[in-house]
């Protein structure tokens, strides 16, 4: 097949490489000229994705992957189009479709009869049918479901391990009609490989969810579940703090029984997915009180961590506090909706002077994100925000003036911190 992948970001580029690795000819379309230039040179435009550098070069050298800034032209040469353009939402979860609308209009200009269009960007339920289908039809003069096929098939991978996740998790597909769904299933069966998994109710592979709406809901539901579960764990942790209980031991005990799957509490829920998609679900279903309460509980955790610091340290006015970790999770160089931002804000609100360090970021990069980099200033308190592997071996010798450490991820070694007040969330 000839395949076009629209948007060569942290999900789109690995997808394009995966499709090329199966012998298909792939054109990646991106509005960033620098990304196009790097991809055509076989150079990854961003770090941190396992095996991407090797696989990208192989695909480009084999003549199976090229990039262009001309989306319409790339679509016109393709049998299938996979769209992974970012969708932004505001603090209330209201979607901003600007980038996706622009990409969809460009796709429509090059769309020809018989083409499959698959959206992988997480969407509110109903978007594929009620927004993309009419927009593609209007721009192309073709009829959705008759002249071209249209499906929603959510990405279900984590950056840093995309290739492994593509094999491990079933690929969900739902179309605007039966023919579209069937075509979508056939497409993904030709471009993906799957690990054997005995734990699934049906064989691992491409799963037909019947409709685009079911597929859209599946992505929102699985992510919202995680947010709600973490919110519950955080509620348990705060209660445990009030009553001198170690919530970690409680959760381990609960999860020894097969019907309990309590997640871990922590200082923040960050990234492009878990903090955002529950809000997107609430945009569809504003009466979902459980979802709303969990989102509010999780959003309050950075300030709660600062409360724990103040309770252990005392008045934070004028105190230099080091926030360890700008990334939203360990091992990933990404600050999207990271807990570092509300943590810094909460410290400032208490009169503290916050500084930030992260082994994955330079001082200049932190400053570019609006974060005050730590450059040797004496700090007497610290909050661990990201669970980087480097922090597992952190000791008081690394922070000699710190008298209180709030470990928001339970990453540091408690034995190493004897003699220094070390506080964790949940006892």
pLDDT in tens, 360-414: 999 999 999 999 999 999 999 999 999 999 999 999 999 999 999 999 999 999 9
Closest CA to 268 of 243, 229, 298: 298
Q: The tokens of 152 are what?
A: 């929603």
The pLDDT > 70 percentage for the chain reads 100
What does the pLDDT read at residue 184? Answer: 98
pLDDT computed for residue 90 by the predictor? 79
Percent of the chain having pLDDT more than 90?
95
- For the chain, give every domain's residue range: 2-210, 211-427
pLDDT at 93: 74
pLDDT in tens, 99-139: 999 999 999 999 999 999 999 999 999 999 999 999 999 99
Strand pairing of 171-175 and 149-152?
antiparallel
- Total-model pTM: 0.91
- pLDDT higher than 90, residue 249: yes
- pLDDT number for residue 78: 98
Q: What is the pLDDT of residues 41-91, one digit of tens each?
A: 999 999 889 999 999 999 999 999 999 999 999 999 999 999 999 998 876
- Determine the Cα–Cα distance for residues 339 and 70; give it in Å rounded to an integer: 37
Angle at which helix 212-243 crosses helix 301-313, to 10 degrees, equals: 10
More confident residue, 419 or 363: 363
Over 90: is that where the pLDDT of 272 sits?
no
User: Which CATH class, in words, describes the domain spanning 2-210?
Assistant: alpha beta
Both tokens of 65, joined, read 């992957």
User: How many residues comprise the chain?
Assistant: 427
Nearest-5° Cα angle at 344, 340 to 349? 150
Which whole number is the average pLDDT over 176-199? 98
The pLDDT score that the predictor gives to residue 384 is 98
Tokens of 379: 């700090």
Q: 206-208 and 149-152: which strand pairing?
A: unpaired
Query: In the predicted model, what is the mean pLDDT of the chain?
Result: 97
Q: Is residue 270 helix, strand or coil? A: coil
How far is it, in rounded angstroms, from Cα 111 to Cα 172? 24
pLDDT digits over 2-38, tens only? 999 999 999 999 999 999 999 999 999 999 999 999 9
What is the pLDDT at residue 89?
81
In CATH, the architecture of 211-427 is 3-Layer(aba) Sandwich (3.40)
Determine the pLDDT at residue 29. 98
Phi-psi region at 370: left, alpha or beta (left = phi > 0; alpha = psi -120 to 50): left
| pLDDT of 159 | 86
| Mean pLDDT in residue range 207-235 | 98
158/129: higher pLDDT: 129
Interatomic CA distance for residues 184 and 73, integer angstroms = 22
Do 266 and 325 touch, CB atoms closer than 8 A?
no
pLDDT, position 131: 98
Do the domains spanning 2-210 and 211-427 agree at the CATH topology level?
yes
Beta strands in 134-282 (DSSP E): 149-152, 171-175, 206-208
Note the pLDDT tens digit of each residue in 276-334: 999 999 999 999 999 999 999 999 999 999 999 999 999 999 999 999 999 999 998 99
């Amino acid at each position: 097949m000839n395949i076009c992948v629209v948007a060569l970001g942290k999900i789109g580029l690995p997808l394009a490489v995966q499709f090329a690795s199966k012998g298909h000819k792939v054109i990646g379309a991106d509005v960033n000229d620098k990304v196009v230039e790097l991809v055509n040179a076989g150079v990854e435009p961003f770090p941190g994705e396992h095996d991407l550098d090797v696989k990208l070069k192989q695909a480009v050298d084999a003549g199976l992957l090229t990039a262009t800034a001309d989306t319409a032209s790339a679509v016109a040469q393709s049998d299938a189009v996979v769209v992974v353009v970012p969708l932004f939402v505001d603090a209330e979860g209201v979607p901003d479709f600007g980038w996706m609308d622009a990409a969809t209009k460009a796709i429509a200009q090059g769309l020809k009869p018989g083409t499959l269009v698959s959206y992988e960007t997480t969407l509110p339920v109903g978007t594929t049918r009620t927004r993309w289908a009419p927009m593609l039809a209007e721009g192309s003069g073709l009829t959705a479901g008759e002249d071209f096929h249209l499906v929603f098939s959510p990405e279900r991978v984590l950056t840093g391990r995309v290739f492994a996740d593509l094999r491990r998790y079933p690929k969900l597909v739902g179309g605007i009609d039966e023919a579209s769904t069937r075509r979508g299933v056939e497409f993904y069966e030709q471009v993906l490989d799957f690990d054997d998994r005995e734990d699934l109710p049906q064989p691992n592979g491409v799963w037909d969810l019947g409709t685009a709406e079911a597929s859209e809901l599946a992505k929102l539901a699985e992510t919202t579940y995680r947010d709600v579960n973490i919110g519950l764990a955080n509620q348990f942790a705060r209660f445990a703090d009030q009553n001198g209980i170690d919530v970690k031991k409680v959760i381990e005990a609960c999860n020894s029984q097969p019907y309990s799957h309590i997640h871990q509490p922590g200082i923040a829920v960050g990234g492009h997915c878990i903090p955002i998609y529950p809000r997107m679900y609430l945009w569809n279903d504003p009466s979902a009180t459980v979802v709303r309460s969990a989102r509010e509980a999780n959003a309050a955790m950075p300030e709660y961590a600062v409360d724990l610091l103040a309770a252990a340290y005392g008045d934070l006015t004028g105190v230099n506090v080091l926030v360890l970790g700008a990334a939203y999770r360990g091992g990933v160089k990404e600050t999207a909706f990271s807990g570092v931002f509300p943590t810094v804000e909460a410290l400032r609100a208490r009169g503290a002077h916050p500084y930030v360090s992260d082994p994955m970021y330079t001082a200049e990069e932190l400053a570019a994100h609006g974060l005050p980099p730590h450059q040797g200033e004496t700090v007497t308190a610290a909050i661990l925000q990201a669970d980087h592997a480097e922090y597992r071996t952190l000791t008081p010798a690394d922070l000699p003036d710190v008298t209180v450490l709030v470990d928001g991820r339970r990453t540091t070694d408690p034995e190493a911190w004897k003699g220094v007040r070390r506080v964790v969330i949940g006892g």
